[in-house]
Structure 1
């Protein structure tokens, strides 16, 4: 396989462009489907505000409810912990026990607004995306987060997610310099430019190398289109999701009619039926690696907009059980960890 160019190439808008085709990883057609589970382990906060004093982590004590379901299916999830979780006993305590027993892995998630150093007294919406920060400030925050995880958990985090999917043109280099080997910041097909964030249209769901040395691997969150118009999903959805399109609810109309629906593999905001349909559609397109993700605050009633009451928490836990049963039995897949996948891809991609 030819050497890989860096996929963290700045585009004209100051963000990053889609990976070059020779950076993408293709699994053999006869390889079994594999599933990763990532949990954004973070504080409960008002999602309409970003303030450094919103650091409550009561939700972490509730993770045992979903953890039991995951373990029933042999799944070892990765908790992507942010600074408030790593820095407070109430946050790191419940996860340390899981880590010590080999029942989870610990990664990192950077929320700039609650991670020191605090340079801007009033953080702007654009600055909530870590990739928009000055390189020296992004590095300082990432280094402080990494050190706090090492101190709080006794491990060097292997995997990273930028909060709000805020991967920027300097992020890959910073991750490599701090010893990370996996990034999961890309939400395939999403466009956050309205808030000053990145655009991931055209990225696809296949993993790819972020560096020419093939050390830092990107695994996009599983998100794609289903429906009769899915082949032109990115271009059509861009029109439907415009200001005018949203005003007349075109995305909702397309989804209801079965023509085009953008689905994320998550129990938050997606039905299990939608997740299953996406999985089957991607399998038919040759995809063999999938990732489920959700927020830790979704295990606490009122912890975020997805779970205003305990009923939604119960629904989320039921979703996990139903989807894992489907993936392991109907699909014939297996669950894996980030470190396992990284080793697999390195062997697969060896010259």
Structure 2
């Protein structure tokens, strides 16, 4: 159910909550869930390991280049284990046009010792030793494929758990980007982030792990009451009477995630303006890599929808720069800025001698 241990850990650091100054230009991160293709309407399956959509990421890179954006591709095991996919992404990585992080889909990541089902699709629900073994296998594959060890993590299905923070420390990670504010995945056993906000947090045993949440928040007249009201609106009863849609159409309360997937340009702009007014200065924009190939996700089913998808990104990035006065960034730069001049720690993974990332 609720992964309370992880969420409570976000508030335990002796360090002050990390914030940029109110007059600091807002920063935009782009995080791409870079993964295998599968039918989103069917159960997870180990045999879904195709990664042909990785070759299509160049279309998005053209948009990023126009705005000086260096995205972070958080990649899962089928991608890391496929030489052609690694080669395609290394073209961008070797030119400094992207960062590489980690994305754990347990059902396609060795060792394969758990049952494949909805609950086990959240990595944090696995026994701690299995969660660690899977993440260690993925981390090693990425380090071997890209020549440096990843330090940015995003749990598959946002599934952090009670052991995740300790595992990240053990394996040398610095940054987690798994939390989805004001959102619960507890319906099929996932984490409940209903009370998690959009601001970054230090966590971990020594307070040097950084959580950078996805940008998700509320717009509307009842925006300030969103964290209290929305869990009730999105309850089984509320969903049966379509209360979230009614609240959104009335202009009272709308929960929006910053993404081109199922969210149109106008809604992305509403969210960005709302979060900015609430003091947000670090924005995280995200999508799934198979959306770049029509027919592989519910969000992009045709060439026309792909064109709209890319146009939404292009126009949002322009808005972010021109209206909000923002600029692109990446998780490691944000980490450095929030440490206020302190050096980024070179955390040595327990029991390993692997390369550290270039800074």
CA distance in 2 between partners of 1:181 and 1:203 (Å):
20
Say whether the 8 Å CA contact 1:18–1:200 is kept in structure 2: no
1:223 and 2:224 equivalent? Answer: no
Match of 2:334 among 313, 323, 341: 341
* 1:198 CA displacement: 0.4
CA distance in 2 between partners of 1:23 and 1:299 (Å):
39
Q: Which residue of 1 aligns with 2:90?
A: 96
Deviation track 1:240-283 (CA, whole Å, cap 9, x = no partner) reads 11111111111111111111110000001111111111111111
1:58 and 2:49 equivalent? Answer: no
CA distance in 2 between partners of 1:24 and 1:309 (Å):
44
CA distance in 2 between partners of 1:349 and 1:222 (Å):
26
Say whether the 8 Å CA contact 1:210–1:218 is kept in structure 2: yes
Residues 122-271 of structure 1 correspond to what in structure 2 (within 5 A)?
A: 122-271=115-264
Q: Which residue of 1 aligns with 2:10?
A: 19
Match of 2:38 among 45, 54, 58: 45
Match of 1:79 among 73, 85, 88: 73
* 1:132 CA displacement: 0.5
Q: TM-score, normalised by structure 1?
A: 0.93
CA distance in 2 between partners of 1:167 and 1:228 (Å):
32
CA distance in 2 between partners of 1:231 and 1:200 (Å):
17
Q: TM-score, normalised by structure 2?
A: 0.91
Q: Which residue of 1 aligns with 2:323?
A: 330
Deviation track 1:197-232 (CA, whole Å, cap 9, x = no partner) reads 000011100000112523210000000010011111
Say whether the 8 Å CA contact 2:26–2:324 is kept in structure 1: yes
Gaps in structure 1 of 5+ consecutive residues: 1-8
Deviation track 1:151-206 (CA, whole Å, cap 9, x = no partner) reads 11112112000010001111011011111100000011110111100000111000
CA distance in 2 between partners of 1:162 and 1:95 (Å):
20
* 1:15 CA displacement: 6.1
Gaps in structure 2 of 5+ consecutive residues: 344-359
CA distance in 2 between partners of 1:24 and 1:308 (Å):
42
1:114 and 2:114 equivalent? Answer: no
Deviation track 1:127-170 (CA, whole Å, cap 9, x = no partner) reads 00000000000000000000000111112112000010001111
Say whether the 8 Å CA contact 1:36–1:290 is kept in structure 2: yes
CA distance in 2 between partners of 1:200 and 1:100 (Å):
35
CA distance in 2 between partners of 1:284 and 1:212 (Å):
33
* 1:321 CA displacement: 0.3
- Give aligned pairs, total: 339
Say whether the 8 Å CA contact 2:3–2:191 is kept in structure 1: no
